[in-house]
Structure 1
């Protein structure tokens, strides 16, 4: 899981920076309009059933087949919607080529829908090595294709080509996974999945796809160049924190759902996961907030001025969202997926309202509107979580304290390195990163008293998983004549 998340972050960031530097802000902004529409539709069709398939207590083949079939049908519908939106987006952005970009992306949506549903089944079976192949294999190939198109003067088509290759590779890997899915629509099976699937997909569209909706709204207010700068700022931070979100959420969803009927054990696991999340995420957010302007200036040059400051604002706001644990997985485990939808709706409404009121014309102004939920919601979500698990604020503070301490020590080390070095920009940036990394390792070891976070220890596996493994061992022993009859 960690390898997949790191690869996703590195290749996503590398693809964005390298291709963006070659094609320039205007072409990148034009491609961003079509990509944003595609990613919103992909999020809908690809996230419809995975969580409900993971949580369902008794999963049968009819559930898997029906979920995959329904998702592909939704993917076909989503492709038609993206194609139909092309002329509207082209007119609003003043770029006719967006029509053809949207038409090229539309046929990819049924494949993305199948891949998303299959991933839920693979998560349930803990086939994480197969899942990691989507990125470890697909992203390098997609980057190579995108760069080839960029260097040959294809402008925004470089972004479309990279997206197409990534989607196709993922689809082929999921198809070859051996699940044996067949076209089938069983109404009773789908009825078992809808109570979680419907609120979760609505929440996913807003929560995971809110920045895409935000970009579409922002494209009406700003020129394509400013849109590209804002988009790259969001992606820069998202690529970094996605390492934590993806790794912790996959652990959380499986473990918390396995303990949904044991509130005491669930609360303890939630605290362990909150400790791990803060330990990993806070130094990433704070470190990115400190070095983003220098890094952007060195990698992209003066044409992307403003991206670094916008990324700094977004990164500092994101740090606050890692202080109260993985609420998304907790509410699914408790059977309150609708609460995720309510929270997601607020996180979308606040920045859109800020856009409508302030009407920013710079990337920094857009970033300030974007981080508004990160400032307003943490106290509310902390109260909700503590009520659900029956714990006190002091208990949660003790869980996240090691991560906060390590993050602050790292930030101090970066600032000291910056203020006391007289070196070329590249050398200074590398020294800041090295100083911050060493300081974080030492501070984390001190705060954790030399032990791994509890969430990473093997004796923290979910109860249901341990019982299943014990049962499998017993069956193997019985089959070999070594166990009881």
Structure 2
């Protein structure tokens, strides 16, 4: 529950900032910021920040492990920041837009602060102090939102997005140390790093592939900032919703499944519960968004974002898979198979770059169809990996999603029927009716068809102790 709150706070805040900034900024502005951000994130993704996850996954931990990881990550952070200061203009020229030269050194301040927080964040997650994580996130989010909105209304344009991101990283780093109560020592022991090397390298690779923005770089360079701006706009909204579902589960399930990795029966049971919850939330959310996206974007934004509607609908296909994939990733990595997920993510990234290079000239709509087809065709690989770790057949694993799938299909039919049955509704009334009809159908069906699963879930909820009379 605390992990959900930790995810909900920045997601809701991001939606507010997102809608407000879309009023002040153009697709080209979003594209310019997206191009600079993609380069910074790509470089940051090459760092060993995920050695923090190795601290969470490892059964026994010493001070030498934490100190060594701190100096490793912080050292990489400083080294990765310096090129953005020294070579900002050549980098901007090579990317085809010299306007980002001023943005790069400022935005790159995120890198050393994010890496300096890797160890204290791992200590908090390892102890499962998710209430404190939520507190850290809330403070950092509130400060970044205030800075962003203030700069937007003051007329600073895309610099508002830059300032808010840097401020969020600085505050989150400071809060992580305060919440964790941890301080680094001066020792750097190679033997301690060797203990974490195998898992840490592949976990860093997974983090790299999950956060690297090669698709943005390629699309921005070849397709231009306007096409990238529309893509970035829709993908950011998709990422916020994915984080709302996956962010709450990923840190909890990785820690929990790591703690029971020697007990396959308990691991399978915990994984089944997490998978059901993730699918039961992500499937109706993204299907509902795909249906209502035209009315929703038309009401919230102006005409300059009209071309983003189909892009967002296409991302909803990936959202359904991503909601399930976040739990798959936790299982695979918790069982020490980080390299499996790394190679899967690598295949996804390489294929995405290939599709962009082959299809960008045919327009953004055609490109999105090709990208989603790629994601669907590669997804069975993750199913096979998951089923193997569970000791089940892929069909047995997929059968666990039949109830959310059935309820979502019924919800979709109900939502699509609203404008056919009531064609004279206003745009607002149509949107409200579709959400009400779809939500009612889904909730009733999921409660009816999943009675046994819900009963099982209720057994794990904490109960208040009765006081003695």
The 8 Å contact of residues 318 and 374 in structure 1, kept in 2 or not, is answered as no
Partner of 2:336: 335
Please, which moves more after superposition, 270-279 or 432-441?
Answer: 432-441
Q: Are 1:280 and 2:281 an aligned pair?
A: yes
How far apart, in 2, do the equivalents of 1:187 and 1:457 lie? 45
Distance 1:81 1:416, change over 3 A: farther
Match of 1:438 among 428, 432, 440: 440
Match of 1:197 among 195, 200, 210: 200
Partner of 1:429: 431
Distance 1:287 1:96, change over 3 A: same
How far apart, in 1, do the equivalents of 2:406 and 2:296 lie? 25
Please report the TM-score for the alignment, with normalisation by the length of structure 1: 0.88
Within 5 A, what are the aligned runs for 1:53-452?
Answer: 53-83=55-85, 86-92=88-94, 94-177=96-179, 178-206=181-209, 208-210=210-212, 212-322=213-323, 326-360=327-361, 362-421=363-422, 422-449=424-451, 452=454
Residue deviations 1:6-33 (CA, integer Å, cap 9, x gap):
2232222332232132122222211111
Residue deviations 1:444-469 (CA, integer Å, cap 9, x gap):
21121176374674279xxxxxxxxx
Distance 1:134 1:15, change over 3 A: farther
How far apart, in 1, do the equivalents of 2:254 and 2:65 lie? 19
How far apart, in 1, do the equivalents of 2:31 and 2:175 lie? 31
Report the secondary structure of 2:73's partner residue. helix
How far apart, in 2, do the equivalents of 1:425 and 1:141 lie? 35
Distance 1:341 1:354, change over 3 A: same
Please, which moves more after superposition, 296-305 or 32-41?
Answer: 32-41
- Segments of 5+ residues of structure 1 without an aligned counterpart are 461-485
The 8 Å contact of residues 69 and 193 in structure 2, kept in 1 or not, is answered as yes
The 8 Å contact of residues 318 and 371 in structure 1, kept in 2 or not, is answered as no
Distance 1:82 1:286, change over 3 A: farther
**CA shift at 1:205, angstroms?**
0.8
- Segments of 5+ residues of structure 2 without an aligned counterpart are 463-469
How far apart, in 2, do the equivalents of 1:6 and 1:150 lie? 23
**CA shift at 1:146, angstroms?**
1.4
Report the secondary structure of 1:331's partner residue. helix
Partner of 1:31: 33
Distance 1:67 1:93, change over 3 A: closer
Equivalent pairs, count: 458
Q: Are 1:7 and 2:12 an aligned pair?
A: no
How far apart, in 2, do the equivalents of 1:325 and 1:298 lie? 31
Residue deviations 1:113-166 (CA, integer Å, cap 9, x gap):
122332121110111112113432222321221122222222221110111121
**CA shift at 1:368, angstroms?**
2.8
Report the secondary structure of 1:326's partner residue. helix
How far apart, in 2, do the equivalents of 1:46 and 1:156 lie? 29
**CA shift at 1:418, angstroms?**
3.5
